Structure 1
Amino acid sequence: MKRREAREKAIQTLFQLENTELSVDEAITYITEEPTNSFYELLVRGTVQNQEAIDNTLTGSLENWSLDRLPKIERTVLRLAVFELLYNEDVPDRVVLNEAIELCKTFGDEKSGRFVNGVLSKLTKK
């Protein structure tokens, strides 16, 4: 599984976790039937484990929005991207931003990508 695919699967898993009462292991098994790779697991487990800190960081970067008001896909993409920005030093910030925008194109719409880019750009300037 390449990193792009791992991010797509991570978004699907995180989105599912927000809408169900599944455990992380159950959600991972539901999304990927094949043996998972370490990058995918890092993204999912890391985002879930650090969600409170991620949400606090996001809240400080949202203007005229609350985290609860965001559409679920944008909130999920932002959480994943903030996890990578804060906790995964292997990936350059620019790559994280580009990948988040691409995920929005895949799962959201054109407005999603612009919104996510604006929030993440503001966050990376801090």
Structure 2
Amino acid sequence: MKRHEARQKALQVLFQLDNIELTVKEAIEHVLDEEESDSFFEGLVNGTIEKKEEIDAVLAEKLENWSLSRLPKIERTVLRLALYELLYMEETPNRVVLNEAIELCKTFGDEKSSKFVNGVLSKFTE
């Protein structure tokens, strides 16, 4: 699985977990649909879930005129995923994480969501 595809699938798993009462295993199985998993994908999913409280706390500090609960779910999920990668997976260059997050927003969100996510994430890479 290529990293871009792993990020897309990780986003889908995390989005489901934010909406529906599923176990992590059930959400992963649903998204993969019998496709083989890989360590990067599982690391993104499990790491984002494990560090969610820390990520949310750091994210809440950088949001201007927004609260986490007010954010649309897709933006909140993309931000959590990207911040996990920025803060805990140092092998990926910041520029790549930002570009991937913007692409995820364009695929699953809209034009405004990609601009918003870019603005928030840029505060973490300055």
* TM-score for both structures, normalised by structure 2: 0.97
CA distance in 1, matches of 2:125, 2:53: 19
* Structure 2 match to 1:91: 92
CA distance in 2, matches of 1:121, 1:93: 9
CA distance in 1, matches of 2:53, 2:125: 19
Q: Quote how far apart the aligned CAs of 1:38 are.
A: 0.6
| Aligned residue identity for 1:104 | C
The C-alpha deviation readout for 1:46-80, integer Å capped at 9, x for no partner, is 00010000000100110000000000000000000
Q: Quote how far apart the aligned CAs of 1:86 are.
A: 0.5
* Structure 2 match to 1:28: 28
| Aligned residue identity for 1:17 | L
CA distance in 1, matches of 2:67, 2:125: 19
Stretches (4+) displaced over 3 A: none
| Aligned residue identity for 1:71 | P
Q: Quote how far apart the aligned CAs of 1:37 are.
A: 0.7
The C-alpha deviation readout for 1:5-47, integer Å capped at 9, x for no partner, is 0000011000000111111111111110212011100000000
Identity %: 69
* Structure 1 match to 2:13: 13
CA distance in 2, matches of 1:24, 1:35: 16
Q: What are the residue-to-residue correspondences of 1:43-54 with 2, within 5 Å?
A: 43-54=44-55
Q: Quote how far apart the aligned CAs of 1:111 are.
A: 0.5
1:22 is paired with a residue of what secondary structure? Answer: coil
2:64 is paired with a residue of what secondary structure? Answer: coil
* Structure 1 match to 2:2: 2
Gaps of 5+ in 1: none
Gaps of 5+ in 2: none
CA distance in 2, matches of 1:123, 1:58: 9
CA distance in 1, matches of 2:5, 2:51: 22
RMSD (CA atoms)? 0.6
| Aligned residue identity for 2:77 | T
Aligned length: 125
CA distance in 2, matches of 1:124, 1:62: 15
* TM-score for both structures, normalised by structure 1: 0.97
